[in-house]
Structure 1
């Protein structure tokens, strides 16, 4: 079974060239952190509300990345909210994307392909070994969004994170997406961490857009 972080990264990966698709500024970084925090919440290691994120169980999960995040949360001397931890972890776990990519390589979902451009510049890509996993994620999301079913907690989380990264463009046609946006927005509100991820990404995008005239 893939983790939230692995599913998000698979959707963000271009099937054709093995590179990350263009996304809103810092979207993938925040979404991956949000995915890890949500995984810890579903494993009853942390609890979150509108004001605070609390560690309630420090027992290791057995997953290297999750345990790294759990240890960092537990070592904090002050109680901070979800938004604080999203930003703190997003900017200090700079190799997070590489870790998740390596996990997918270890699970034989991706393979590593090193190339040289003009025989000088090294480029690493991650082509799919088998597209079964990414097709399964897309199919599951399509079925949920196009139905009136109430999602389980894992599905609600995934919808929220995929929406924050604007990756539903990869799952639905433009016509379908226009029709389904209210349903997506409704489901995306069901997950607290996902809502905070989306808000953080929107704030960064607005800040970047506001800075553009000054840079021109």
Structure 2
């Protein structure tokens, strides 16, 4: 199986100089949403409105996706369904490291330990093979800046990046306002079966809800 949407998102978010993810929280929401989207496309999970359900637990063959099938099953604990927002809140802080480990296992990045402020160990991820990221950015550019018709995965990725506000990381040097309309148009287009597109819309809505709640929690008193 090829690189996952979550891993693609982390490739776009990794800072080349520091080797750490930029906009880590937003990247986590997008990556967690990407895994749900892939599990929907693989017919392992269904998303409808505010709820997700785990159906087929057969492994997909991808370690990152299969680990989430197990984790979702454990999280549901016998329930038939759970809130998408609750799962995203639970997983978005963990999935960043899981996706980075996946990139390391694929040989696309190299994990390096370093001391932060001389005290705390921290991992940085140096790019080992830039060909995959270059091809990814070319694919995004063709769909958003050009007139290429995106395939299902590319359109789904664009929808997730747009929902998480990762415009500048996907298109460095361009103001978000110059790419956001086309990204929104792509997300709303006829790029997949209605069931998949409906699931993406529901995941997008859940991501927006989580983001708004988090912003309120982090806002200084009096704001």
Q: What's the TM-score, normalizing by structure 2? A: 0.79
For the pair 1:174 / 2:174, whether they are aligned, the reply is yes
Match of residue 192 from structure 2? none
Cα distance in 2, alignment partners of residues 209 and 134 from structure 1: 30
Cα distance in 1, alignment partners of residues 46 and 204 from structure 2: 19
SS at match of 1:19: coil
Unpaired runs of at least 5, structure 1: none
Match of residue 124 from structure 1? 123
**Residues 197 and 215 of structure 1: CA distance in aligned 2, closer, same or farther (over 3 Å):** farther
**Residues 173 and 54 of structure 1: CA distance in aligned 2, closer, same or farther (over 3 Å):** same
Q: Once the 2 structures are TM-superposed, how far is the Cα of residue 188 of structure 1 from its aligned partner? A: 2.0
Match of residue 28 from structure 1? 27
Cα distance in 2, alignment partners of residues 93 and 163 from structure 1: 17
Match of residue 52 from structure 2? 53
SS at match of 2:37: helix
Cα distance in 2, alignment partners of residues 208 and 94 from structure 1: 13
CA contact (8 A) 2:167 2:180 kept: no
Unpaired runs of at least 5, structure 2: 190-196
SS at match of 1:112: strand
Cα distance in 2, alignment partners of residues 71 and 112 from structure 1: 25
Cα distance in 1, alignment partners of residues 31 and 204 from structure 2: 12
- In the TM superposition, 1:88-99 aligns within 5 A as 88-91=87-90, 94-99=93-98
Match of residue 41 from structure 2? 42
Q: Which moved more, 1:87-96 or 1:60-69?
A: 87-96
CA contact (8 A) 1:146 1:180 kept: yes
Match of residue 19 from structure 1? 20
Q: What's the TM-score, normalizing by structure 1? A: 0.81
| Larger strand share, 1 or 2 | 2
**Residues 69 and 120 of structure 1: CA distance in aligned 2, closer, same or farther (over 3 Å):** closer
Question: How big is each residue's C-alpha offset from its partner over 1:148-195, in whole Å with a ceiling of 9 and x where there is no partner?
Answer: 4443221121001111232221315335x4333221111123534443
RMSD value, Cα: 2.8
Count of paired positions: 211
CA contact (8 A) 2:155 2:186 kept: yes
**Residues 94 and 22 of structure 1: CA distance in aligned 2, closer, same or farther (over 3 Å):** closer
Cα distance in 2, alignment partners of residues 3 and 209 from structure 1: 28
Q: Once the 2 structures are TM-superposed, how far is the Cα of residue 213 of structure 1 from its aligned partner? A: 4.1
SS at match of 1:116: strand
- Aligned match for 1:195, one of 157, 181, 201: 201
